[in-house]
Chain A
Amino acid sequence: MSALLEVRNLSKAFRGLKAVNNVSFEVPAKGIVALIGPNGAGKTTCFNLIAGEFAADTGEVRLGGTLLSGMRSDQACKAGIGRTYQVVKPFPEMTVEENVVVGALNRAPTVAAARCAANEVLKLVHLDKKAHIRAAHLTLPERKRLEVARALATQPRILLLDEVMAGLRPTEVDEIVAVFRTVNQETGLAILFVEHVMRAVMALAQEVVVLHHGEMIARGAPDAVVRDPKVIESYLGAEAVDG
């Protein structure tokens, strides 16, 4: 498998604090990779660097060979990055459907076509019944699904998910894991996801990248990574054993 997303020696410091320090990894085409690590490890910052929210200090990001570094976030989206925000950013006064139409317009030639596409995506994430209420009225788990729907609607080549399962009940986690697996299998969409819910990480990821203090401390198959002493010490603790 060839790499779809390549992250090379990526670094970013905030006022001296090295939030991301010389991180390199790949996401293969059609692959699903998890990015884990303790709070403040630099996971969200990694996403922001990939998606063009911030410019990296050093290093580069490529998507399918195209250099993303130096692009603004709208250009990164056009290139094929679809991202969700850990702190959700819905368009509160617009309806759920309108929220997703905005995303769908990224590729759709007309508003009518975007509306069709949006409704497909809403069905996929089980938000179709809420299509006509304003996003302001959604619960937090619903807002997280709206984030996913909007990003999916842009028809990305890779989907970046930032803790979309936080706060979900185990059955809800299984439900949304199933959605991602379906999308991945049916469309070949690659996924890079940040998650503290180990249940989801173990179920979904083909590979896991572990960050700690901005540095990559481990990388490999999920089973191997959770047994890595360094990972257990810095992040998982004893509970990792029951995963």
Chain B
Amino acid sequence: MNRRALVSLLILGVALLLLPLFANSYLLSVATLILFFAFAGQAWNVMMGFCGQLSLGHSLYVGVGAYVAAGLFVHLGIGPWAGVWLAVALCVALGCTIGFLAFRFGISGVYFALLTIAFAEFTRIGFDHLQWTGGPGGLFLKVAQRDTIDIANFRGPPAMYYYAILALAAGALALCSWLLKSRAGFYWQAIRENEEAAQALGINTFRWKMLAVAISSAMTAVAGVFYAFYYNNLFPEQIFHISRSIEIILGPIIGGVGTLFGPILGAVVLTVLADGITELLAAVGVEVPGIKQVFYGIVLLMVIMFLPNGIWPTLARKLGLVHAEGGK
């Protein structure tokens, strides 16, 4: 990263910190949504972008993370600061179970992706029958007092959630940037590029793939906890649905798989344009059901056709944020 990139990042950071002072509630909710997808996309990117393990079932970790924290809060009065640990532990355990089954028995590529979908689906069905969390009828948190901030129970005005997800997204960026430069980052990329050669260079590929899954699922679990307390209602049908998994991975794919800023850029492009189109159509009085999905499809198609490495690598070069060759 060069100086220009550093300055840009700084300006962006300050702008994001000051945003709630200027933005109206609609803008703030869009910004929160963008940061949520940036965070979850970053988490998914650790597994796929860095280590080459395609998960199409990340809704599993969002859902379990959300349900665990919300369930503890609603039924036992345990706040999210304690709940998040259990959520993370459970999601890491689930991720490692999938990873163990797949990596021990040589399930890789498309079959690995199918396994991740299967786990998400099974869990969805499980939650449909779990009375403790309300089954298919859903689980609801009492809607927050909008004007008082209750940090202990993570209830408060929209700006509080905005700052929370901003901190998470920024933290994830810092963590991933550090990981990528560490031993883990080198090993993951080697595994992604050629697993056989990586192993012949002394890398215990099983162990390092498991680490990628553990970190990715832990981060996504935290995203799930945030989701529960921000949206206040959870339905298995929605939260575990495969379209949720797809939503998470579209950002990084469009922004640039394996890059640090791809997931962030992708989240911005998708959310802003999708919301923009919906708003625009609403303004002229047309309502097209499913327009968001159609739009996602078109954007994805264009990116795959014209920028197969995602928008970020090309954009960064054009803006002079990285050096021509080899820069990240």
Q: A94-B189, A105-B186, A111-B186 are in contact. Are A74 and B202 (CB under 8 A)?
A: yes
Complex contact A91–B199 (CB within 8 A): no
Complex contact A74–B199 (CB within 8 A): yes
Partner of A74, one of B181, B183, B205: B205
Q: A74-B205, A91-B194, A95-B326 are in contact. Are A102 and B200 (CB under 8 A)?
A: no
Q: Does B193 contact A (CB under 8 A)?
A: yes
Q: Does B76 contact A (CB under 8 A)?
A: no
B270 — which chain A residues lie within 8 A by C-beta? none
Q: Does B311 contact A (CB under 8 A)?
A: no
A 114-127 to B, binary, CB cutoff 8 A, 1 in contact else 0: 10000000000000
Complex contact A102–B198 (CB within 8 A): yes
A 97-121 to B, binary, CB cutoff 8 A, 1 in contact else 0: 0100111011000110010000000
Q: Does B325 contact A (CB under 8 A)?
A: yes
- Give the tally of cross-chain contacts (CB within 8 A): 78
Complex contact A93–B193 (CB within 8 A): yes
Complex contact B200–A134 (CB within 8 A): no
Q: Does A199 contact B (CB under 8 A)?
A: no
Partner of A154, one of B196, B201, B205, B258: B201
- Most chain B CB neighbours (cut-off 10 Å) among A91, A95, A98, A133: A91
Q: Does A144 contact B (CB under 8 A)?
A: no
Q: Flag the segment in A19-27, A77-85, A190-198, A220-228 that touches B.
A: A77-85
Roughly how many angstroms separate A102 CA and B201 CA in the complex, as a whole number?
Answer: 7
Complex contact A111–B193 (CB within 8 A): no
B 49-93 to A, binary, CB cutoff 8 A, 1 in contact else 0: 000000000000000000000000000000000000000000000
Roughly how many angstroms separate A133 CA and B324 CA in the complex, as a whole number?
Answer: 10
Roughly how many angstroms separate A103 CA and B182 CA in the complex, as a whole number?
Answer: 14
Q: A89-B194, A91-B194, A102-B186 are in contact. Are A53 and B200 (CB under 8 A)?
A: yes
Complex contact B325–A77 (CB within 8 A): no
Q: Does B203 contact A (CB under 8 A)?
A: yes
- Contacting residues of chain B (170-202) with chain A, CB-CB under 8 angstroms: 181-183, 186-187, 189-190, 193-194, 196-202
Tell me the smallest distance from the CB of A47 to a CB of chain B, in Å. 10
Q: Does A70 contact B (CB under 8 A)?
A: no
Q: Does B204 contact A (CB under 8 A)?
A: yes
Closest chain A residue, CB of each to CB of B190: A102
A76 — which chain B residues lie within 8 A by C-beta? 200
Tell me the smallest distance from the CB of A18 to a CB of chain B, in Å. 24
List A residues at the B interface (Cβ < 8 Å): 51, 53, 72-74, 76-78, 83, 85, 89-95, 98, 101-103, 105-106, 110-111, 114, 132-134, 150-151, 154
Interface CB pairs A-B, < 8 A, 21 = A72-B199, A74-B199, A74-B202, A74-B203, A74-B204, A74-B205, A77-B199, A77-B202, A85-B200, A89-B197, A91-B193, A93-B193, A98-B186, A102-B186, A102-B190, A105-B186, A110-B183, A111-B183, A132-B325, A151-B201, A154-B201
